[in-house]
Amino acid sequence: MALSRRRFLSLSAGTLAAAAAAKLAFTRSASAARPTIDPGTDGRIVSSICEVCFWKCGIDAHVQGDRLIKITGNPRHPLSNGRLCPRGAAGVGLGYDPDRLVKPLMRVGARGRDEFRPVSWDEALGFVANKLDEIRKKYGPEAVALFNHGAGASWFKHLLSAYGTANFGAPSFAQCRGPRDVAFDLTFGAEPGSPEVLDIGSSDCLVLIGSHLGENMHNTQVQDFAEAVARGADIIVVDPRFSTAASKAKTWMPIRPGTDTALLLAWIHVIVGEQRYNRAYVEKYVSGLEELAKAVAPYSPEWASAETGLDATLIRGTARRIAGAAPASLVHPGRHATWYGPDDTHRSRAIAILNALLGSWGHRGGFFRPSGMKLAKFPTPPYPKARPPADRLEGEAPFALEPLAQGLRRATIDGKPYPIKGWFVYGTNLIQALPQRAETLKAIQALDLMVVVDVLPAEIAGYADVVLPEASYLERYDDLVGISWRRSGVALRQPAMPPPGEAKAGWWIARELGLRLGLESFFPWKDAESYLRERCKLSGVDWDTLVRDGVVLAPEKPTVVEDGLALSIGTESGKIEVYSEKLAKAGFAPVPVYERPDAAPPGYFRLLYGRAPGHTFGRTTNNRLLGELSHHDRVWINAKVAADLGLADGAWVRLINQDGVQSAPVQIRATERIRGDCVYMVHGWGHTAKGLRYAKGRGADDSELVSRVKVDPVMGGTGMRVNFVTLQPAAREA
């Protein structure tokens, strides 16, 4: 049954289970923001944490008996402020997804045929433990790798650290935020954080470079963005596409894709050359200004104009506007930064350097500096010493902060520097999350053991030897989650409803495997609740308050200089390093350099991809509540270009990339809101897994078209916007 927007809103307002809701009355108490329940009903509110994206907002799950009625924002949690994005509110749709994994499964037939038989937990866990034991004896424990996403992975990291491996690869590093984190670490000695510690609400000038807030729906960041818009902040959006953020901006700069670093260098050129930087701040905190000035001298706005396709006067004028608002002037660091490979760390370094020149790091309207909250660990024996991860060969990507997921894949294929024979895949659909799919499939076929722990049968589950059905974030405890935000603290994920069928919490699965592997000393707790209670006790956090409120906040501390923060810089030199000795010593350019992107072959368009507000990539596309509301599976193409190709808005096409890889048929969106040299699509559609009965066959999958990457030699990120597609008219498939 299709859901209209009005009907969905009405559902999320509490009529999802109308009959049940009739008996239930959730109200707000007058004295506190905490919702209360009418006495005499069996309704209750469980305060927990959303896991639909990494923002980890506080949620209030409204429950009657065992039934989850609706989810609202926890008003006590600083990362939600009582509000949620549509995906968080629609978490009910995941809880009751009829396609959930509900029984352990073991493969029958060839790997990858997506054919399984249901088995007992005992059989599944016994099989996995035996195989892990075999691999440990034959190759050593380091021959097992974990690919992971999400907070629940901590149980499996603990299990596999105790087992003896350090091969933990999260695609969220080398396929997403890695270049940015490395660049900020090199410059400020600290990363921008996750969630990013941006004081957008107080910014007088905000620059977004390919970072489309509003479509990229990070709850409090979007709330802050709305505040900045309402305050009349000077918003400058740099994007080949007229994004939602661009529609709120004073200036949209439709840049030629791949030339962002040229623009950034020209902005630095103007700000340094015209001495518009924050002089007092730079004198106090920054080192390397002279070298920077020398390096950017050639990069005039006129030079950048030829590269970017932007007007030189606009480049100069925006540089002056950005500098004029300092220090409440913020160049957003973005999040997904693996675009062009060799250019990526340099581009993110240029963003970091601009912020240094503005003095926004540590100032109101810039980057605030949270104090965090210290949480004690649960006492367990030290982990055995593990071999260094197998993701890199000697000398490769020296500044990587985390193991490279694609490097672990390579080690699985070629056995260098040592073999990887077992994969644990937790909460990430590697088929869509990793580029160069053929390599992923090759690696999977080389394994002795492949285990998938997940809540839904995405494509990756079809390749597993064993599929272990996990309770969703609405049905389980996870480890404590520290909040590093304007107000720091600790938050609790706790079950609000029972898991379906035989699905089990991750902590239970990890512990059961640990016991079977003889690792009981690492699991001296009987269940997650006793583990969490002990951690709270050791950390001085009141358990009952945490359970009741979902969050316990630390005492308020200043997070910006204006409020009394004593700003310290975390680099070894204690200075913000706009010229990086570390990079120079390792043979890399110490000041950002620009590399012109490859031109598209004739008749091809650069493939760009991004997000939609109603979805977190492939994680939500099977959620009926969200899917009926927002498809976002059309390919954007410039209207004039589409007309020249004889394609009307809504026409069906296949995308074919430079290597001949073809997408499923997909409709075009012919629009003036995108340049003519690129096309754009939302990542996460085009599922083929037969178990995703709702998402299967909807839209096209951008990731299968990413058959090429360019690797960032500084930190090993895979630049993925280096693929080109052409469009071929197609019939709509039934």
Chain contacts with ligand SF4 (rule: CB under 6 A): 50, 52-53, 55-57, 84-85, 87-88, 217-219
Q: Are 310 and 236 in contact (CB under 8 A)?
A: no
In the complex, minimum distance from the CB of residue 613 to ligand SF4, in angstroms, rounded to a whole number: 9
Contacts of 597 (CB under 8 A, 6+ apart): 257, 258, 259, 340, 343, 722
> Quick one: 326 or 695, whose CB is closer to ligand SF4?
695
> Quick one: 41 or 194, whose CB is closer to ligand SF4?
194
Q: Are 722 and 601 in contact (CB under 8 A)?
A: no
In the complex, minimum distance from the CB of residue 702 to ligand SF4, in angstroms, rounded to a whole number: 21
> Quick one: 219 or 259, whose CB is closer to ligand SF4?
219
In the complex, minimum distance from the CB of residue 662 to ligand SF4, in angstroms, rounded to a whole number: 32
Q: Are 25 and 41 in contact (CB under 8 A)?
A: yes
> Quick one: 73 or 717, whose CB is closer to ligand SF4?
73
And the tokens for 17?
């289970």
In the complex, minimum distance from the CB of residue 357 to ligand SF4, in angstroms, rounded to a whole number: 31
> Quick one: 46 or 668, whose CB is closer to ligand SF4?
46
> Quick one: 62 or 708, whose CB is closer to ligand SF4?
62
Place of tokens 């924002």: 73
> Quick one: 85 or 668, whose CB is closer to ligand SF4?
85
Q: Dihedral of CA 497/150/623/10: which sign?
A: positive
In the complex, minimum distance from the CB of residue 89 to ligand SF4, in angstroms, rounded to a whole number: 7
In the complex, minimum distance from the CB of residue 91 to ligand SF4, in angstroms, rounded to a whole number: 7
Tell me the residue number closest to ligand SF4, measured at CB. Answer: 88
Q: Are 392 and 420 in contact (CB under 8 A)?
A: no
Residue 504 pairs in a beta bridge with: 470
In the complex, minimum distance from the CB of residue 102 to ligand SF4, in angstroms, rounded to a whole number: 24
In the complex, minimum distance from the CB of residue 194 to ligand SF4, in angstroms, rounded to a whole number: 12
Q: Are 462 and 435 in contact (CB under 8 A)?
A: no
Q: Dihedral of CA 199/203/207/211: which sign?
A: positive
Cis peptide before 382 (omega within 30 of 0): no
Query: How far apart, in Å, are the Cα atoms of 345 and each of 284, 357, 373, 556?
Result: 25, 18, 30, 34
> Quick one: 55 or 685, whose CB is closer to ligand SF4?
55
Burial of 344-360, coded b for 16+ CB within 10 Å and e otherwise, reads bbbbbbbbbbbbbbbbb
In the complex, minimum distance from the CB of residue 92 to ligand SF4, in angstroms, rounded to a whole number: 12
In the complex, minimum distance from the CB of residue 227 to ligand SF4, in angstroms, rounded to a whole number: 16
Q: Name the residue type at position 156.
A: F
Number of helices (H) and strands (E), helices first, in the chain?
Answer: 25, 29
256: which DSSP letter? P
> Quick one: 194 or 251, whose CB is closer to ligand SF4?
194
Tell me the C-alpha distance between 440 and 450, whole Å: 12
In the complex, minimum distance from the CB of residue 542 to ligand SF4, in angstroms, rounded to a whole number: 24
> Quick one: 52 or 255, whose CB is closer to ligand SF4?
52
Q: Are 402 and 178 in contact (CB under 8 A)?
A: yes
In the complex, minimum distance from the CB of residue 50 to ligand SF4, in angstroms, rounded to a whole number: 3
Closest-CA residue to 633 (of 682, 680, 586): 682
CA 156 remoteness from chain centre: 19
> Quick one: 14 or 317, whose CB is closer to ligand SF4?
14
Q: Are 539 and 376 in contact (CB under 8 A)?
A: yes
CB burial of residue 255 (10 Å; 0-12, 13-18, 19+): buried
- HSE (side-chain half, CA atoms, 13 Å) at 414: 10
> Quick one: 535 or 619, whose CB is closer to ligand SF4?
619
In the complex, minimum distance from the CB of residue 695 to ligand SF4, in angstroms, rounded to a whole number: 17
Tell me the C-alpha distance between 212 and 674, whole Å: 14
In the complex, minimum distance from the CB of residue 49 to ligand SF4, in angstroms, rounded to a whole number: 8
SS3 135: helix
Q: Name the residue type at position 286.
A: V
In the complex, minimum distance from the CB of residue 196 to ligand SF4, in angstroms, rounded to a whole number: 12
> Quick one: 11 or 444, whose CB is closer to ligand SF4?
11
389: which DSSP letter? P
Tell me the C-alpha distance between 155 and 301, whole Å: 51
Q: How many residues does the chain have?
A: 734
Tell me the C-alpha distance between 191 and 333, whole Å: 10
In the complex, minimum distance from the CB of residue 370 to ligand SF4, in angstroms, rounded to a whole number: 18
> Quick one: 85 or 637, whose CB is closer to ligand SF4?
85
CB burial of residue 226 (10 Å; 0-12, 13-18, 19+): middle
Q: Are 432 and 701 in contact (CB under 8 A)?
A: yes
Residue 330 pairs in a beta bridge with: 206
> Quick one: 58 or 257, whose CB is closer to ligand SF4?
58
> Quick one: 218 or 335, whose CB is closer to ligand SF4?
218
In the complex, minimum distance from the CB of residue 663 to ligand SF4, in angstroms, rounded to a whole number: 27
Phi first, then psi, for residue 391 (nearest 5°) are -75, -20
> Quick one: 84 or 714, whose CB is closer to ligand SF4?
84
CB burial of residue 119 (10 Å; 0-12, 13-18, 19+): middle
Query: How far apart, in Å, are the Cα atoms of 594 and each of 58, 102, 263, 295, 298?
Result: 41, 51, 10, 11, 12
Q: Name the residue type at position 2.
A: A
